[in-house]
């Protein structure tokens, strides 16, 4: 429906105002098109305040209809263009960046399954530390440790190695300790703590959970409950990725 076809009876106005407008010959929004406050006062016998209220209501209605007429959603082409504009976050490990198409992608959830991809657990453990050290130079990075596998000595070694070998010209990170100060760490002991931590997160560039499945396996004996909990935490991770453009 076009805005001009809307009956004045549908306007959010007092009945007395609607009656005055109808008696003056104003029945649809089209009848008010181009009229000024003073003209409306003279023709409908309204006060300046009442006339301004009528015209304000008309403008609000037109804005709402204009928004409602806009296309809902996006085309696949628009989504592809948006995805192409998101810069990759390189890990600075050529082999890994090659597998990831240039690096980690902001706004996405990356899942590493050591069993599915036939990787050793040690490789998965090292990757989580590498991601954290690299991403901490951009914004705070938040590792969530569910298995007790976070080893600060190993992280410190990686940070020192990064400063020596991978620092690029113009980067402000100057020491190992600068990197370590950008890494926030939290040890979670069950599924409830894990969800509480996720609910509290903001202003980070990377979230590393080692591992996501650990508490899901041990906290839920019923397969149905475990599946529902997995879906809940997956939805939360995707929400964080979209809202803060983080890598999770």
Q: Is the pLDDT of residue 53 over 80?
A: yes
Between 141 and 14, name the one with better pLDDT.
14
Check if the beta carbon of residue 103 is closer than 8 Å to that of residue 90: yes
Nearest CA among 130, 143, 149, 150 for reference residue 89:
130
User: Helix, strand, or coil here: 243?
Assistant: helix
Return the minimum-mean-pLDDT range out of 26-30, 79-83, 103-107, 235-239. 103-107
Is the CATH number of domain 76-244 3.40.50.300?
Answer: yes
Numbered ranges of CATH 1.10.150 in the chain: 3-68
Would you place residue 117 in the very low, low, confident or very high pLDDT band (cuts 50, 70, 90)? Answer: very low
Which CATH number does 3-68 carry?
Answer: 1.10.150
Decide: pTM greater than 0.95: no
Q: Which of 136, 246, 127 is nearest to 198 (CA)?
A: 246
* Of residues 110 and 137, more confidently modeled: 110
- Write out the residue limits of the CATH 3.40.50.300 domain(s) in the chain: 76-244
pLDDT at 142: 56
Confidence of residue 209 (pLDDT cuts 50, 70, 90): confident
Rounded distance, CA 240 to CA 235, Å?
Answer: 9
């Amino acid at each position: 429906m076009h805005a001009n076809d809307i009956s004045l009876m549908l306007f959010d106005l007092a009945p007395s105002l609607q009656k005055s407008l109808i008696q003056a010959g104003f029945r649809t929004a089209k009848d008010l098109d181009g009229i000024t406050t003073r003209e409306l006062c003279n023709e409908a016998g309204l006060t300046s305040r009442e006339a301004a209220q009528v015209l304000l209501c008309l403008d609000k209605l037109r804005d709402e209809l204009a928004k409602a007429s806009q296309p809902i959603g996006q085309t696949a082409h628009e989504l592809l263009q948006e995805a192409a504009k998101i810069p990759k976050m390189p890990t600075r490990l050529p082999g890994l960046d090659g597998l990831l198409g240039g690096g980690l992608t902001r706004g996405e959830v990356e899942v590493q399954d050591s069993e599915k991809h036939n990787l050793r657990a040690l490789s998965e453990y090292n990757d989580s530390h590498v991601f954290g050290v690299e991403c901490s130079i951009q914004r705070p990075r938040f590792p969530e440790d569910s298995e007790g596998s976070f080893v600060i000595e190993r992280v410190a070694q990686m940070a020192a190695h990064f400063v020596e070998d991978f620092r690029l010209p113009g980067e402000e990170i100057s020491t190992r300790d600068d990197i370590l100060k950008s890494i926030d760490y939290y040890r979670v002991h069950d599924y409830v703590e894990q969800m509480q931590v996720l609910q509290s997160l903001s202003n980070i560039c990377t979230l590393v959970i080692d591992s996501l499945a650990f508490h899901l396996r041990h906290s839920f004996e019923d397969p149905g409950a475990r599946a529902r909990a997995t879906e809940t935490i997956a939805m939360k991770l995707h929400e964080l990725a979209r809202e803060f453009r983080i890598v999770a």
